[in-house]
Amino acid sequence: MKKYLPILRNSPFFKGLTDNEILSILHC
């Protein structure tokens, strides 16, 4: 899943979130 972080971080939905915040959202 971590390999998608750069892509997700650039998406409008995850804009401004940190890696940890993105991961916590995805693991819900």
Contact 20, 8 (CB under 8 A): no
pLDDT of residue 20: 92
What string of H, E and C letters represents the secondary structure of 1-28?
CHHHHHHHHHCHHHCCCCHHHHHHHHCC
Q: Based on the structure, what is the number of domains in the chain?
A: 1
HSE-up of residue 12 (Cα within 13 Å, Cβ side): 0
For 17, counting Cβ atoms within 10 Å of its Cβ (0-12 exposed, 13-18 middle, 19+ buried), the class is middle
Q: Is the pLDDT of residue 1 over 80?
A: no
9-20 pLDDT, tens digit each: 889 988 888 989
pLDDT of residue 12: 92
User: Which domain covers residue 3, as residue numbers?
Assistant: 1-28
